[in-house]
Amino acid sequence: MIQGTLFQIDSETPWEDLGNGIKRQIYGYDDHIMLVKAQFDAEAVGTLHEHHHSQVTYVESGVFEMTIGKEIRTIRKGDGYYIPPHEIHGCVCLEPGMLLDVFSPLREDFL
């Protein structure tokens, strides 16, 4: 699997409405990596879950209460986090904003 275009332009990229105040755009990917933009309304909840992928995230905007394993922190624009494979994680959106989630390998379940 591979992204069909080298460039992803915000205004040309469809949003997928996931319900409950969360929507996402799929950006660059191949078998090894995938970048996803996830927009959260205030009070939207990313329920606790785990997956075999490594994940790195950047807070592009907003404020989130983020849980990773036993750690809970309030993070905001400019911060980020790392999620080891199979570590349970989730978030609550305190102020509307966007997370940039990047996975390795590809999240085939998103396509």
Enumerate binding residues for its own copies (CB under 8 A): 2-3, 5-11, 27-30, 32-35, 37, 54-58, 60, 66, 68-69, 71, 73, 75, 78-84, 100, 102-105
- Among residues 42 and 73, whose Cβ is nearest to its own copies? 73
Tokens of 52: 């075999």
Q: How far apart are CA 7 and CA 93, in angstroms?
A: 29
Q: How far apart are CA 87 and CA 85, in angstroms?
A: 6
- Among residues 56 and 94, whose Cβ is nearest to its own copies? 56
Q: Give the nearest distance from C-beta 83 to its own copies in angstroms.
A: 7
Q: How far apart are CA 90 and CA 100, in angstroms?
A: 14
Q: Give the nearest distance from C-beta 65 to its own copies in angstroms.
A: 12
DSSP state of 11: G
